[in-house]
Amino acid sequence: MAVDNEAVKQIAYLARLGVEEDKLEETQREFNKILAWVEELGEVDTNGVEPMFSPHEENILLRNDEVVEGNQSDKILANAPEKEFGYFVVPKVVE
């Protein structure tokens, strides 16, 4: 199934990526090549086959919901591009 330029823009938006207008054609062309290639999978009869989401198929171990490492806001903020008063700073969200 080939996608057009509008679809490429929409997918990019969903991924929060911008595609420059002059790169749109190239992106769309490469995208469609890859799609056409992976569509080979359609040849395989997968009726009744259980999908395999991970090689680790046992139940995932759970732990008690307890704080094991806490009180490290300095470490958490250490790499923040912008911070103030112990918080991450972002552009205004609520008008």
Partner 1 sequence: MSNLTELTISESLEKLRAKEISPVELTEAYIKKLEDNKKYNAYVTTVPEKALEQAKESEKRYMSGANKPLDGIVLGIKDLFCTKDIRTTACSKIIDNFVPQYESTVTQNLLDDGAVFLGKLNLDEFAMGGSNETSYFGPVVNPWSKDVKLVAGGSSGGSAAAVSANMCAGATGTDTGGSIRQPSAFCGVTGIKPTYGRCSRYGVIAFASSLDQAGPICKDVRDCALMLNSMAGFDEKDATSARVDVPNFESFLGQDIRGLKIGIPNEYRPDGLNEEIANYWDKAIEMMKEKGAEIVNISLPHTKYALPCYYVIAPAEASSNLARYDGIRFGNRVNGKNMEELHINTRSSGFGKEVKRRILVGTYVLSAGFYDAYYLKAQKVRRLIKNDFDEAFKKCDVILTPTSPIEAFAIGDKKMNESPINMYLNDVFTVSVNLAGLPALSLPIGLSKNGLPLGMQFIGKAFDEKTIFKASYQLEKSVNFKRI
Kindly list the residues in this chain that would bind partner 1 in the complex (CB under 8 A): 1, 3, 8, 11-12, 14-18, 27, 30-31, 33-35, 37-44, 46, 49-56, 60-61, 63, 72, 75-76, 78-82, 88, 90-93
Instruction: Give me the least distance between CB of 90 and partner 1, in Å please.
Output: 6
Beta carbons of 28 and 3 less than 8 angstroms apart = yes
Per the structure block, which two tokens stand in for 26?
């190239």
Give me the least distance between CB of 54 and partner 1, in Å please. Answer: 4
Question: Is residue 38 within 8 Å of residue 2, measured between CB atoms?
Answer: no
DSSP code, position 59: P
